[in-house]
Each structure stands twice: as structure tokens, then as C-alpha cells.
Amino acid sequence: MKALLTPFQLKHLTLRNRVISTAHAPALAEAGMPGERYQLYHAEKAKGGIALTMFGGSASVAHDSPATDFAQVSLADDAVIPFLKQFSDRVHAHGAALMTQITHMGRRNRWDTADWLPLIAPSPIREPQHRAMAKEIEDFDIARVIAAFAAAARRCRDGGLDGLEVFLGGGHLINQFLSPAMNRRIDKYGGNLDNRLRFAFEVLEAVRKAVGGAYIVGVRYSADELLAGGLDQKEMLEVARRLAKSGLIDFLDVNHGHPIDHAGMATIIPGMPFGSAPFLYLASAVKAEIDLPVFHAGRINDLATAARAIAEGHVDMVGMTRAHIADPHIVKKLMEGRPDDIRQCVGANYCVDRIFLGGEALCLQNPATTREQTMPHVIPRAAARRRVVVAGAGPAGLEAARVSAERGHEVILFERAPHTGGQIAIAAKATWRENLSGIARWLDGQVRRLPVDVRLGAPATAEGIAALAPDVVIVATGGRPNRGRMQGVDHAVSTWDILTGAVPPGENVLVYDENGQHQGASVAEVLAARGATVELVTPDRMAAEQMGGANFAQHMKELYRLNVLITPNQRLTQIYEEGNQLVAVLKNIYTGAEEERTVDQIVAEHGTLPEDGLYFALKPGSSNHGEVDYEALVAGRPQGIVSNPTGRYQLFRVGDAIASRNIHAALYDSLRLCKEL
């Protein structure tokens, strides 16, 4: 690990180690400005020891590249400078450097937001992901955009940032000029590589002139677009050589792929199906060709891989971006000799999916990330010690036990199963989602490191808990499978039955998914991979509708690869037996027309129902009757409701014991409740 902690000299800037967070879009900007929430998100990484953190996954330089898409930062006018100064001061106070990426998104945007200006592109070719048509850029547009890049760069310098990178990839405007897949021009900006690079160099020359020779300017680009008709590795190595020889830039930040659609985006931000550092070879090849510092990020989520990338000379600075979303204190924990305490990114890509669904980036397993204004990454000690009993050792119960123990409380944790993990242990049995088990593994390790009395194979009872004379009881008993309410539902099995092996898989199976999350698609994939003929039916307009682009794309890839038949817009209304077969009655949700399927197994997925028997048994003996003061919870104050003065303990429930949600909700429930105990 020594290589990671070695300082690096980037021009005049000394970076304290080799770990960075590359530019990305957490969707935290407020009206285009990087306000307190955005700043604290990056400042936490600086507290955690990172050398350089970069913001503005697509910080926009002009008004016809609206920053509204994914709530980006706008560098289009001087209003941003005071925010940049405050941002710089916050990060610098903790010893880290701060930079941003600047770009014009061209056709990769929406025209019907912000100022409703037409989009521009080198050629009027539809952009698949945003479904946008742009006007063919004119000479005056080119001059205007070049000037906008220069002005934005000057604002970065005046705002105290340590440097910036110009984005030459990602399907953005400069990339649209560069890639033959998007540039069909026949003038001096189209055709051969010299012409297609012309706009990039004009931008870089203007940026360099605006900020001066001493300021740090880099470039981020794709070393292989992995796109038919696009830029391949050979051509992009030549681009790297030309950039390095130009004298205009100080580093090259290498990524890969092209976000032309959901499948492309799922490759650019590789998740669970990919191994560690799957595209490091591209950065390594660039490093061998040029005499400039090379940065790279791409599913490097563990310290061993990161250290190897530096020690073997593949890159100069290693990006651990999603790794720092999972745990912003990676470097600090390494320096303190606590690598086992690092919460390692499992590649779930919940952070990415949230953005595609119109939300802000949140980490599936760290509910404090991007909530630094209200949620602590380091749990403070409580003023007084209390006895806390937690029932259930799934994610909600483990987090409740962890946070309560970090507060200094005496914690007793009951779990009826012989192991911890709850539903995570079931979900991890799906075909490509086994890395989810890392979430439970980290939580389990933390509660065992802390003074938590873990009682496995021990079902919690109201009498047993009351006998312990607790001050607080937290019910985290999770949920039970919900197969729905259709006629004949008892003929169906649950997704849990299939994943746990409780029920053997059929040969001809209908999977009915009214949840739209991972469960239905995952089980369809498991069944098909085992040789079953599978039809995935949903009343939604498409399979896995509740998922964002990264995971949706992976599920669709697997479903099609395994020849799963996907049938949308059909509701399962009845199941009945016919001989030794089952008949599923489907009703079109738009026309009302019915049709039937004859199969030997039906799997029904409707999420979960609360396993709440223990909660209701404990409720009469509690001082609050289980009631939660939502005003206090949201404001970050302790719970103080006393509706039963004779009650002996406060009672709360968390996670799926309340309602069917997800891992993040379970962890967030426990963190924000228990941090105030």
C-alpha cells in the first residue's frame, strides 16, 4: 500500500498521495450553483485524506448546454465565483486539492429545460439517450462556445480551484467533433483526424490563454469508445500523443466507452458484472505512449488493485470515485492501519441509478454520503449510556446495532437465523449480484469489532426482550415475501423460494413481477440460466421499470441473452390448476383483453409485507406505543414522545419491518434514528 501514500508533484501542486475522486455528477447543484450540500460532500473526502477531489461531472460553460440535466454546476457566468471560492476554502482546509471538469454537452442534453435554447452539434444526428435533435453548429456558434470555455476556465482560476480538466469524451460537444460516429461534416472540422481535432485544440488554446501558463489544465477523454464507427484505441493513442506534444495540457485523465444509450452507460460506469479495474489496460497503454501524468478511474474499488496500478506504473493517480461514495475516509483508515474498517464499494450502482431516475446520488450502503449536512460519517458518543436491544440482523438491524454501539450504548442483537445479513443473503444468490454480500459482511464485521452482544439462532420474543430491562428496543425483523392478492395466489411461489432453493425450479415458468425492482428480473435470470423456459410478465410498460439506466441495462442484457420472453402491460388476475399444470390468466391493463398461459410454475413478486408480530407484541409495554416524532427525526433531535407513562422502554421499528423498501432505506432508518439515541 506504500505506493498509494507517496506524494505526487503535478506541476507546482504537491498532491499528498496518489488517490483521487474523478469528476462525476451527484446531482447536488442548486440552480446551477455548488452550494453547501455539494461542498460538504467533497469536503468529507478531503477530511478522509484524499489527495484531489474533482467535481462538476459535466460543469457547463454556456447557456445552450443547460446545467439542469442531472443538476449540474453552471460555469456560464460570474455568479458561480463566490461559490467556487467557498468550495475551495472548504476542501483546502483539510489538505486536499480541488478541481472541476468543464464542458459543453452539445446534443447530449435536453432542449426543453432552463432557457429553452436549441442544442448544437457538429452534425444533426439524433442523440439516443436524451432523444434530442440538435441544429448543425454554425461558425458563430463555434466562436461563441470557444469563448465560453475560456471564460469558464477563468472563473475556475478566480474561484481558487487548483486546476480544471476539459472534457473531450462522454459524447459531449468536443467528443462529437472528434468521433466519426457523430461528425459527418465536410468542412475544416470534419473528415480526417486533423480536422476532427481542430475544435478541441481551438478550445484548449483559448483556455490556456485565459488562465495562463502556470495554471493546471488537463483533459479527460475516452481511450476507446467501444462503439461501432467510433474512436478505437489505435486512433485515440494518436490523439493522446498529439495532446501531449501540444504543450497545452498538464495531465490526461483516461476513461473508456461512450454513453450513447443505457448499455453504453452501464459500461462506462462498470458495476457488479465487471471485475476489478476492467479498463486499466487502456490507461496503461496511454501512459506508455506519452510523457504526461495519467489519471484513471473505472471500478477500482479496493486498495490492493489501486496500489498495484500505481506501483506497476500503469497510472500516476488512481481514481476511486464510487469507492469514496461508499467510504470517504479510505485514505485516513489506511494511514491509521484500519483497512478492515473501509466500507468497500460493491458496484451496486444505486448512486448512478438514482440520477437516472431524477434523484440525487445516494450510496446503497452508506446513507451519510451526500447528506453530510445532517448525517455523520463518524458517529459521536452519547452523553449517557443506555441498553439497546435490536431484533433482527439484516441491514437495518446491523446498522442500528453498529450506530448504537458507536454511541457508547450497551447493545444486544438477536437474530433467529444462524447468520446475519437478512434479505441481502438472498439477493446475493442472483446470477451477477453476489457482490451485495459485501454490504452485510462489512456491517457484520463492524458489530463484532464493537462491544455488541450478537445472539444468532436466537428468535427474539417480547417476554425475552422485556426480561433484559432495555431502555430502547428496535425491531428490525424485516419482511416476508408478498406474492400478491390474485385469485389462486396459493398456487404461486415467491422469488425467495427460488433463490434460497426452498422450492426446486420448474421447466416452464412464468415470473410475474409487480415490483419493478431487481427481484423479478433476477429470478427470471436465475431460472433461465438453469435451463428453464421463462416468461417475465409485468403490468408495467417494461421490465424492471423502477430501476435506473445502469442496472436496467445489465438486467436487459442478461434477460435477452438467456432468451427470456418479456411481456409488459399484463396483470396476473387468476391462477388455477389444470391437471398437473398451472394456468395463469393475464389481463391487458389498457384493453381489458384476457389471455392465458399454461406453465408448470408461477413465481409472483410484489415486494414484502412487514414481519411485525414482535413489534405489536412489544407495543403495549413501550413508553411511546411505537410512535415516532417525525418532526424530531427529520430535524435531527432525539425522540421524546411519551404516550404511555408506565411504559418501560422506547420502541421503534426500522427497514422492511415498517414497509417494503430497499437496503438504503433500511440503513438510513437506523442511522438517523440511532445517531440521536
Phi and psi (nearest 5°) for 495?
A: -65, -35
How far is it, in rounded angstroms, from Cα 107 to Cα 126?
8
Confidence band for 322, pLDDT divided at 50, 70 and 90? very high
pLDDT confidence of residue 263: 87
Mean pLDDT of the chain: 96
Beta bridge partners of 374: none
CB 663 within 8 A of CB 439: yes
| Span 630-652, average pLDDT | 98
pTM of this prediction exceeds 0.85: yes
In 3D space, the residue among 22, 171, 181 whose CA is nearest the CA of residue 109 turns out to be: 171
Confidence band for 114, pLDDT divided at 50, 70 and 90? confident
Q: Which of the listed CATH numbers 3.50.50.60, 3.90.1150.10, 3.30.70.60, 3.40.50.1820 matches domain 483-606?
A: 3.50.50.60
pLDDT confidence of residue 111: 86
Domain borders along the chain are: 2-356, 387-480+611-674, 483-606
pLDDT confidence of residue 629: 98
CB 319 within 8 A of CB 277: no
Between strands 8-10 and 13-15, the pairing is: antiparallel
Complete DSSP assignment for 2-15: GGGGS-EEETTEEE
CB 201 within 8 A of CB 137: no
In 3D space, the residue among 264, 258, 256, 248 whose CA is nearest the CA of residue 212 turns out to be: 248
CB 178 within 8 A of CB 172: no
Confidence band for 262, pLDDT divided at 50, 70 and 90? confident
List of E strands, 524-666: 533-537, 565-567, 570-578, 581-588, 594-599, 601-605, 608-610, 650-653
Please say if the pLDDT value at position 69 is more than 90: no
For 162, how many CA atoms within 13 A lie in the half-sphere containing its CB?
23
Beta bridge partners of 650: 472
List pLDDT tens digits, range 360-414: 999 999 999 999 999 999 999 999 999 999 999 999 999 999 999 999 999 999 9
pLDDT confidence of residue 207: 98
Give the CA distances from residue 478 to residues 455, 585, 660, in Å, rounded to whole numbers and listed in that order: 17, 31, 9
CB 257 within 8 A of CB 225: yes
How far is it, in rounded angstroms, from Cα 412 to Cα 387?
8
Cα end-to-end span (Å), the chain: 38
List pLDDT tens digits, range 558-612: 999 999 999 999 999 999 999 999 999 999 999 999 999 999 999 999 999 999 9
List pLDDT tens digits, range 541-558: 999 999 988 899 999 999
Beta bridge partners of 13: 10
Residues 6+ away with beta carbon under 8 Å from 401: 388, 390, 393, 411, 413, 447, 450, 452, 454
Domain 387-480+611-674 adopts which CATH fold?
Rossmann fold (3.40.50)
Cell of 594: 384476457
How far is it, in rounded angstroms, from Cα 217 to Cα 195?
23
Hey, what long-range contacts does 129-137 have (CB within 8 A, 24 or more apart)?
Answer: 129/259, 129/260, 129/261, 129/262, 129/265, 130/69, 132/107, 132/108, 133/107, 134/106, 134/107, 137/106
Q: Confirm or reject CATH 3.40.50.800 for domain 2-356, answering yes or no.
A: no
Confidence band for 491, pLDDT divided at 50, 70 and 90? very high
How far is it, in rounded angstroms, from Cα 24 to Cα 42?
11
Residues 6+ away with beta carbon under 8 Å from 617: 461, 462
Other CB atoms within 10 A of residue 523 CB:
28
